[in-house]
Chains A and B, each alone.
Chain A
Amino acid sequence: AQRVTQPEKLLSVFKGAPVELKCNYSYSGSPELFWYVQYSRQRLQLLLRHISRESIKGFTADLNKGETSFHLKKPFAQEEDSAMYYCALTSLAGGTSYGKLTFGQGTILTVHP
């Protein structure tokens, strides 16, 4: 069974402070990990995926297979980062198993001015 855990429902930081959103996963095979973001009154959208190894809007996330974690980090938070963030995983293997996303419960990030 695959499972994604985001231990923090709410996270508040001040503008300019570092931010880390935690994500731990459980999966028997090789996972592909994602972070999705939902800004107020907007639809869910992809923020980043670990295989692309990109930095989007200053956010980065490193897959740690030993700790089964995929924490999202940003060194200097901005007010426009306030949103709901979801960690998700799917099978890295090809075929029909790919694409079924398992989401965590989400973390609401609030960046205060």
Chain B
Amino acid sequence: DTGVSQNPRHKITKRGQNVTFRCDPISEHNRLYWYRQTLGQGPEFLTYFQNEAQLEKPRLLSDRFSAERPKGSFSTLEIQRTEQGDSAMYLCASSRDRDEQFFGPGTRLTVL
């Protein structure tokens, strides 16, 4: 197990297109988190899962954002009709209950 992995590492898209990111957590970690980080800011919490249940949906973002974690394993984050303001680093983390969160390398999204 090499830790949390995220794909793709970089994504360039045109405004209005849909994008999907994938996160593979550490095996047997039941919690999975998504964060967004813009330049000069700390990571901002988006949503998280305990097993396959989404415990909180993105409140700060529009309905264009959705996340899934089928079968409680990997997770996907989809952004529909991307806007330039969506350009950011999208981070995934996983943990076993209240233990330490381990972060992935992130997916950098650029919306042209």
Interface set of A (CB-CB < 8 Å, partner B): 4, 9, 43-46, 49, 86, 88, 94, 96, 98-106
6 interchain residue pairs of minimum CB distance:
A103-B42, A44-B103, A96-B55, A103-B43, A46-B100, A100-B45
Q: Which residues does chain B contribute within 8 Å of A98, judged by CB atoms? A: 98
Interface set of B (CB-CB < 8 Å, partner A): 3, 31, 33, 35, 40-45, 48, 50, 55-56, 91, 93, 95, 98, 100-106
Closest to B31 in A: A99
Q: Which among B42, B44, B105 is the interface contact of A106 at CB below 8 angstroms?
A: B42
Q: Which residues does chain B contribute within 8 Å of A44, judged by CB atoms? A: 43, 91, 93, 103
Q: Is the interface of B mostly helix, strand, loop or mixed?
A: strand
Q: How far is the CA of A100 from the CA of B103 in the complex (A)?
A: 13
Q: Which among A45, A96, A99 is the interface contact of B103 at CB below 8 angstroms?
A: A45
Q: How far is the CA of A46 from the CA of B44 in the complex (A)?
A: 16
Q: Nearest-CB distance from A79 to chain B (Å)?
A: 24
Q: Which among A9, A49, A96, A103 is the interface contact of B44 at CB below 8 angstroms?
A: A103
What are 29 A-B interface contacts by the 8 Å CB criterion? Answer: A9-B40, A43-B3, A43-B103, A43-B104, A43-B105, A43-B106, A44-B91, A44-B103, A45-B102, A46-B101, A86-B42, A86-B43, A88-B42, A94-B98, A96-B55, A96-B56, A99-B101, A100-B33, A100-B56, A101-B43, A101-B45, A101-B101, A102-B45, A103-B42, A103-B43, A103-B44, A105-B41, A105-B42, A106-B41
